[in-house]
Amino acid sequence: MHHERIAILDYGSQYTRLITRRLRELGAFGLVYGPNATAEEIAGADLKGVILSGGPNSVLEAGAPPIDHAIFELGVPVLGICYGQQLMARDFGGQLHRAAKREYGKATIRVDDSDSVLFHGLDPDQVVWMSHGDHVEKAPEGYTVTATTPGVPVAAMEHRGMRRFGIQFHPEVTHSQHGNAVLLNFLHVCGMKLDWNAGHFIDQKIETIRKQVGDGTVVLGLSGGVDSSVAALLLHKAIGSQLTCVFVDTGLMRKDEMKQVQAAFAPFDLNVKWVDASKEFLGELKGVSDPEQKRKIIGRVFIEVFEQEAKATQAKFLGQGTLYPDVIESSGIGGAVLVKSHHNVGGLPERMNMQLVEPLRELFKWFGGIPSPALVWPCAFPAPSHLSA
């Protein structure tokens, strides 16, 4: 079962992650793709819309990231933000202006079209966040200019028949006064149900984990932190005793931390191997004062200890608490594929011929504020006491 999805093409904007978070706050599931993603790669019955992100490049320069034009023929609405709008304008016959210097900061737009889809129900004058060099001087044929500023004649444009929209500002940034409402109006055009939440995620992920793992076994490094703890409990909920967790006490933790984590996880009936490797770590670190050398020693010894314990379980899968920001950050403009090196536990999956299970890979972590569709803690089971503060 696949949830309805908005595909976000990442053209290198510092705000791409924010777009995804805003969509999920609104109950829509967004996934980030690289700028070279093809229509074939993002297509599917679950695709409801496409957002083209901003980016640091100029669409007027040779080598600027392009778009597969077949994406416009997928039959779903498309929203271009900043670079995405300029790309749309350039490729469909609009005119662009190359500014001598970038515009960065708050601006007030005037909504000129009362029939606008994106600005439906919103104030005619609103503060938005600008961050751009070029701007659209003249909209392509068939597009209606829906908003302007004194310096930007096409601050927003729409082709209602084709359901294509472009905006020069960043609605995902909190400085944009009605940014969430603009995104919500786009989601309504996409026909999204806006029902993505942690409860749905848990049910779907349990099903996915069971299909992936089958009757195999999983080993996971449990630190007692939020990421590995949530991953462990979600895996445990899906496959029960097929999961073995390994907690390595390095001797470098707070006093009695292993006992505290043991007490926190006692109610959950997890199969955990509690390994006191403090002598190995402290022995290797004896006489070492250089911080970087210490880090390398700790990393090497941890891998050695964990690998030995993991091999003993004969597990086919390695569980990890990788989160979506880790995925996005590691990929940059190249697409959300790679994961930061420290999340790959020193190449252990390859060395040990194991497959990765990353149950939280599509999620952000929220701190404080009201609960949102993103995962603070899976609502199907309570957080251990030391993580629920």
DSSP state letter for 268: G
CA distance 325 to 88: 27
DSSP state letter for 212: H
Q: Which of 158, 172, 358, 362 does the annotation list as catalytic?
A: 172
Q: Which of 75, 360, 37, 48 is nearest to 201 (CA)?
A: 360
Q: Which of 4, 82, 178, 362 does the annotation list as catalytic?
A: 82
In the residue annotation, 170 being an active-site residue is answered as yes
Q: Which of 132, 135, 170, 178 does the annotation list as catalytic?
A: 170
CA distance 366 to 142: 41
Q: What is the DSSP string of 67-114?
A: --GGGGGSSS-EEEETHHHHHHHHHTT-EEE--SS-EEEEEEEEE--T
| CB-based contact 73:50 (threshold 8 Å) | no
**Sign (positive or negative) of CA dihedral 67, 72, 76, 78:** positive
In the residue annotation, 292 being an active-site residue is answered as no
Distances, alpha carbon 134 to alpha carbons 79, 168, 173, 204, 382, in Å: 18, 9, 19, 42, 50
Which residues are catalytic, by number? 82, 170, 172
